[in-house]
Amino acid sequence: MGSNENYSDVVAALKELCPDAIPDYIKMIFLDTIVANPDRRTNNFGLLREVKSGKLIGLAPNFDNNMALIARGYPRNIKSQNDVLIRLFNELLGGNNNYKSYIPELTAEILRHVLSMLHMKVKSQFIVDYVMGRYGQITKE
């Protein structure tokens, strides 16, 4: 893929190489979108191979989220207006309604539960509002 960052082009390549990886790829960039991870590139995820045959079998576990969410401080643009990640993800979803079925349901309660398991002090309500605001801008219907 080189430096091509277009999600639809990545999915088209995955259709040729490893169609089973597409649902996990959609979920990965969904997560990147709602937590504002600016560091996902076409060279920043991997595929797994079956050991003996070398056949591609799926997406590798998610990695490189160290710049996401509040890693660089609390965002100032809490409404995420004109956000490029949201726009790119919605463009991908608009190209194929089946992709929307891979998006998990997310609620403020789920986020609060996850945040309650952290062993660090964060502005929980800010994070809930921020992530739910981004989630609300994703075209799910």
CA distance 15 to 12: 5
Q: Which domain holds residue 46?
A: 7-71+78-136
The reply to whether 94 falls in a domain is yes
Specify if 141 maps to a domain.
no
Which residues partner with 56 through β-bridges?
A: 49
Identify whether 26 is part of a domain. yes
pLDDT along the chain (141 residues), means of 10: 76 95 96 90 85 96 86 87 91 90 96 94 95 91 62
For residue 2, what pLDDT is reported?
Answer: 55
The confidence score (pLDDT) of residue 65 equals 82
| Residue 22 resides in a domain | yes
Residue 1 belongs to a domain: no
Return the structure tokens found at 79: 């409404």
**127 falls within a domain:** yes
Identify the pLDDT of residue 28. 95
Residue 2 within any structural domain of the chain: no
> Residue 95: what pLDDT?
81
Domain assignment of residue 51, yes or no: yes
The Cα 28–Cα 26 span in angstroms is 5
Give me the number of domains the chain comprises: 1
